Amino acid sequence: MKYILLIFLLGLTGCSLFSLKKPEVKMESLTVKKFTEREIDLNVTLEVKNPNSRDLEIDDLRYTFQLNDSAPFKQELGTDINVDANSTKKIELPMVVPTSSLVGAVFDMLVDKPLTYNFAGSLKVNGMHMTFNKSGNMPKRQSRK
């Protein structure tokens, strides 16, 4: 009986050692790097906070960007990312969106209408699937002098 109890207690302790807390994912910023007649070059910065005492491996990151009522633009990050134990890591996601797919939004921008965006995605961390979503207003384009 003592051996059964000992094995049971060791099993409970072992399970708690292997349980992982979900990392916190938030979109920190969305920056327009370049805007031309052909494309909009964006940079999205995600912040991933690892609350665990062991490293986390992000092995699948997919995201979608939508500007006003345009068709969503989808992309995947093809590299694995390691987030150290008990730390926060910033992940830069480059996106090049063809302006032809955003004609309505570009017209709105030219006539000074506000532009709204939605950035959403999912990632797989050590086998756990997570989602994130951020909506907001794009910064206004600076006029050339």
CATH number for the domain spanning 26: value is 2.60.40.10
Which candidate, 118, 43, 41, 130, places its Cα nearest to that of 83? 130
Residue 3 lies in a domain: no
Residue 86 lies in a domain: yes
Residue 119 lies in a domain: yes
Residue 10 lies in a domain: no
Number of domains the chain is built from = 1
Residue 2 lies in a domain: no
Residue 13 lies in a domain: no
Question: Structure tokens of 114?
Answer: 């506000």
pLDDT bracket for residue 16 (50, 70, 90):
very low
Q: Name the residue range of residue 108's domain.
A: 22-137
Residue 144 lies in a domain: no
Q: Is the pLDDT of residue 74 over 80?
A: yes
Q: Is the pLDDT of residue 12 over 80?
A: no
